[in-house]
């Protein structure tokens, strides 16, 4: 199949949606499919990639995101039209409201559309309070309606989001398919010496090492985490906070009221792997979330996870078995669980966490499920055979052909 993804900023620092798009693209290409990306921004690392295209956008305060997505609907359609003339696109895979132009794609270009709705804005409105949040999310929710209404299929990360989509846009329930995020399960790496790595940061081998990886911002619960860490009674502890610091928390790493928490800022993939492999417990108290990749990464490295009882995270953590779920915006409850887990056999909880990641969130199964949806929508069958020389050959066949 020739697939075009209409997506968010295609930049390495853009977070989970970029990671999802990149993984989907690379893994579909490995299966023999051709995948193009059309995005409002493209990172310099992709600017020489002929399968990645930028669609010009603009916006202005206070409706910057809303305006940018409306503009993207027009500019991305033009890029898609020109691409379709060249390669005959079989399917458009749109990311949420970036698929606002689904009706025009289907009617004018005759291309079926699958929409990936990881974290609907109307759902976020139920959990994120405040006039500022409402002013930001409500207009985006209006754009999601046509994006979902005119898509052939909708992919959601968790069953939790099914009802809100049905409320926003009543439709046949069979049109909505649940496919979780995926993760690679890393093998053991003998080159990483955790004793030396811990020593580099002055952390003893018996110290309970808590880890947070992600954007360092209030909505990710970082302030709650820092308050909770200060309350944890265990004296032999360390918290490492990995990720770029948002401007609203600028200078937080210099404050002395968070004891000895270590802020690393943005790190390389190699350094991030070292932290995942050498930490004891992963903590991610986000206030609202679709289904965070960083939690799946922690699980894949065999870490027990403490996360909030919110959104797609309830599917990731088995409370009391692979970690703990706590209330959002509750530092005291978080502190209690951080202290409690340190006294348990958390290594065994980590083993179960890794097994769950492998069993329920492996990329192979995720891609298999996505391809089945794409085949149903396009009316094609995609399968592989072994050639006489041992090479895997990918074939496409029209249904009924």
Claim to verify: residue 200 and residue 244 sit in the same structural domain = yes
Domain membership of residue 187 (yes or no) is no
pLDDT at 398: 52
Q: How many CA atoms lie within 13 A of 38 on its CB side?
A: 27
Claim to verify: residue 171 and residue 198 sit in the same structural domain = no
Indicate whether 294 pLDDT > 70: yes
Domain membership of residue 188 (yes or no) is no
Token duo for residue 293:
């990749």
Claim to verify: residue 64 and residue 162 sit in the same structural domain = yes
**pLDDT interval class at 401 (50, 70, 90):** very low
Claim to verify: residue 85 and residue 121 sit in the same structural domain = yes
Domain membership of residue 233 (yes or no) is yes
Q: Cis omega (within 30 of 0) on the bond before 191? A: no
**Interval 144-155 mean pLDDT:** 94
Location of structure tokens 């027009």:
74
Give the H/E segment covering residue 95.
strand 91-95
Locate all alpha helices (DSSP H) within 150-303, ordered by sequence: 162-168, 194-200, 222-231, 269-278, 293-300
Indicate whether 179 pLDDT > 90: yes
Which of 67-81, 158-172, 237-251, 372-386 shows the lowest per-residue confidence on average (mean pLDDT)?
372-386
Q: pLDDT of 184-208, one tens digit each?
A: 999 987 788 999 999 999 999 999 9
Indicate whether 400 pLDDT > 60: no
pLDDT at 167: 85
**Interval 326-344 mean pLDDT:** 96
CA torsion 343-347-348-350 (nearest 10°) is 120
**pLDDT interval class at 16 (50, 70, 90):** confident
Claim to verify: residue 231 and residue 307 sit in the same structural domain = yes
State how far Cα 362 lies from the chain centre. 14
Domain membership of residue 258 (yes or no) is yes
Contact between 12 and 18 under an 8 Å Cβ cutoff? The reply is yes
Claim to verify: residue 226 and residue 238 sit in the same structural domain = yes
Claim to verify: residue 294 and residue 248 sit in the same structural domain = yes
Between residues 83 and 118, the one the model is more confident about: 83
Between residues 141 and 91, the one the model is more confident about: 91
**Interval 110-134 mean pLDDT:** 82
CA–CA distance, 265 with 99 (Å, rounded to integer): 33
Indicate whether 20 pLDDT > 50: yes
pLDDT at 260: 82
pLDDT at 258: 67
Token duo for residue 211:
């880890």
Q: How many structural domains compose the chain?
A: 2
**pLDDT interval class at 176 (50, 70, 90):** very high
Contact between 122 and 166 under an 8 Å Cβ cutoff? The reply is no
Q: Taking the CB of residue 145, how many other CB atoms lie within 10 A of it?
A: 14
Domain membership of residue 342 (yes or no) is yes
Domain membership of residue 16 (yes or no) is yes
Q: pLDDT of 38-74, one tens digit each?
A: 999 999 999 899 999 999 999 998 899 999 999 999 9
Claim to verify: residue 72 and residue 7 sit in the same structural domain = yes
Report how far apart, in Å, the C-alpha atoms of 97 and of each of 70, 84, 118, 137 are: 9, 21, 11, 12
pLDDT at 302: 97
Q: pLDDT of 220-258, one tens digit each?
A: 999 999 999 999 988 899 999 999 888 888 878 777 666
Domain membership of residue 214 (yes or no) is yes
pLDDT at 291: 92
CA–CA distance, 49 with 94 (Å, rounded to integer): 20
Claim to verify: residue 218 and residue 328 sit in the same structural domain = yes
**pLDDT interval class at 301 (50, 70, 90):** very high
pLDDT at 248: 85
Percent of all residues in the chain with a pLDDT value above 70, rounded to a whole number? 93
**Bridge partners of 323?**
305, 319
State how far Cα 89 lies from the chain centre. 26
Indicate whether 13 pLDDT > 90: no
Domain containing 281 equals 194-360
pLDDT at 318: 97
pLDDT at 259: 67
Claim to verify: residue 41 and residue 151 sit in the same structural domain = yes
pLDDT at 196: 93
pLDDT at 35: 98
CA–CA distance, 101 with 80 (Å, rounded to integer): 11
Indicate whether 399 pLDDT > 70: no
pLDDT at 133: 77
Claim to verify: residue 36 and residue 164 sit in the same structural domain = yes
Indicate whether 149 pLDDT > 50: yes
Q: CATH number for the domain including 223? A: 3.40.50.2000
Contact between 312 and 162 under an 8 Å Cβ cutoff? The reply is no
Which of 155-159, 231-235, 291-295, 329-333 shows the lowest per-residue confidence on average (mean pLDDT)?
231-235
Claim to verify: residue 98 and residue 242 sit in the same structural domain = no
CA–CA distance, 145 with 228 (Å, rounded to integer): 39
Which positions ≥6 away from 47 have C-beta within 8 Å? Answer: none
Query: Is residue 241 helix, strand or coil?
Result: strand
**pLDDT interval class at 168 (50, 70, 90):** confident
pLDDT at 384: 40
Domain membership of residue 63 (yes or no) is yes
């Amino acid at each position: 199949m020739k697939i075009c993804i209409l997506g968010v900023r295609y930049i390495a620092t853009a977070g989970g949606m970029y990671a999802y798009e990149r993984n989907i693209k690379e893994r579909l290409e490995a299966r023999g499919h051709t995948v193009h990306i059309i995005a409002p921004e493209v990172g310099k690392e992709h600017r020489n990639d002929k399968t990645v295209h930028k669609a010009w956008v603009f916006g202005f305060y206070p409706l910057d995101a809303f305006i940018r997505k409306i503009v993207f609907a027009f500019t991305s359609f033009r890029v898609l039209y020109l691409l379709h003339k060249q390669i005959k696109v079989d399917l458009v895979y749109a990311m949420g409201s970036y698929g606002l132009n689904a009706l025009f794609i289907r009617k004018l270009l005759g291309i079926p559309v699958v929409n990936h709705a990881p974290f609907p804005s109307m759902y976020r409105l139920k959990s994120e309070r405040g006039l500022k949040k409402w002013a930001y999310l409500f207009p985006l929710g209006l754009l999601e309606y046509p994006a979902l209404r005119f898509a052939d299929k909708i992919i959601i990360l968790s069953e939790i989001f099914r009802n809100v989509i049905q409320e926003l846009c009543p439709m046949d329930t069979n049109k909505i398919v649940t496919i979780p995020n995926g993760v690679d399960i890393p093998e053991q790496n003998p080159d990483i010496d955790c004793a030396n790595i811990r020593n580099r940061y002055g952390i003893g081998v018996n110290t309970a090492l808590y880890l947070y990886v992600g954007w360092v911002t209030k909505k990710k619960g970082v302030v709650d985490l820092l308050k909770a860490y200060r309350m944890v009674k265990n004296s032999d502890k360390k918290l490492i906070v990995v990720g770029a610091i948002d401007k609203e928390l600028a200078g937080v790493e210099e404050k002395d009221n968070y004891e000895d928490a270590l802020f690393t800022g943005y790190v390389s993939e190699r350094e991030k792997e070292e932290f995942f492999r050498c930490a004891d417990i992963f903590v991610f108290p986000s206030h609202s979330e679709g289904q965070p990749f960083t939690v799946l990464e922690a699980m894949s490295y065999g870490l027990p996870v403490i996360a909030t009882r919110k959104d797609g995270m309830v599917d990731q953590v088995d409370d009391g078995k692979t970690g703990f779920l706590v209330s959002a915006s509750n530092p005291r409850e978080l502190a209690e669980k951080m202290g409690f887990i340190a006294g348990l056999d958390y290594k065994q909880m980590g083993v179960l966490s890794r097994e769950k990641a492998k069993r329920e969130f492996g990329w192979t199964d995720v891609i298999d499920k996505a391809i089945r949806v794409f085949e149903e929508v396009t009316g094609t069958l995609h399968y592989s055979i072994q050639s006489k020389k041992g090479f895997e050959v990918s074939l496409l066949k029209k249904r009924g052909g």
